[in-house]
Amino acid sequence: MAVEADAFSLREVLAAFQTCVTEQREVLLGPYLRGWRGLIRFLHSLGAIFSFVSKDAVAKVQIMENYCGGEQREKYVSLQSMVEYELASGLVDLQKRSGRPDSGCRTVLRLHRALRWLQLFLEGLRTGTEDSRTSVICTDSYNASLAAYHPWVIRKAATVAFCALPSRNAFLEIMNVGTAEEAVAMLGEALPYICDVYGITQELFAQHKLLDLP
């Protein structure tokens, strides 16, 4: 029983991203952050070597959860309403960071860039073969996405941590979705939704020239 209650499957996490997008093509922050909380939980299961990553991700999700539960919570229902509200109220540092608290826009931008890494990484896992090396898939995905935004020391720490990743089969297994084949099939179903969330966010941020927020 206890084991079952603790059972944690990446399927549910990825499904959160499926429920993010509304009929009006808005991205809802509630399920977006729930998806992130689940990813962070999964990251914890990969060991302490990734704690520098999860610490930063937790801090960013926490900032957003505070906005979503705060006085202006109705402005933080979707990414679209957040962008509109924060820009109209002058809450976003556009050139350099001032004494203002971290805006939702700059915080989501960091998570959004990490979502691109996730998309590439999971796609690499999905299309890999049994003897593909997870660390190589992870490094390639990182270099093609997040690395561009990180200073040397973080790139170095990330690359070292990637070497501690389990083999592709073990990785697919700890996703707790079933057999490796079932995990691959689940990724094939879930990834289009993550792509969709990524694409809508990218377009929204590009439209408002928010892709380089400090």
Q: Which residues bind ligand 1PZ (CB under 6 A)?
A: 39, 42-43, 46, 50, 52-53, 56-57, 110, 113-114, 117-118, 138, 142, 146, 149, 154, 158, 165
3-state DSSP call for residue 200? helix
Largest CA distance in the chain: 53
CB of 128 to ligand 1PZ, least distance (A): 14
Our CB check for ligand 1PZ shows the closer of 165 and 204 to be 165
Our CB check for ligand 1PZ shows the closer of 26 and 93 to be 93
* All residues at 6 or more sequence positions from 108 whose CB lies less than 8 Å from its CB, including other chains: 64, 79, 82, 201
State which residue has the least CB distance to ligand 1PZ.
56
Our CB check for ligand 1PZ shows the closer of 78 and 103 to be 103
CB of 24 to ligand 1PZ, least distance (A): 28
CB of 23 to ligand 1PZ, least distance (A): 28
The Cβ of residue 105 has, within 10 Å, a number of other Cβ atoms equal to: 23
Our CB check for ligand 1PZ shows the closer of 14 and 204 to be 14
Cβ–Cβ < 8 Å for 45, 174: yes
Rg, C-alpha atoms of the chain: 17
| Termini Cα distance of the chain | 47
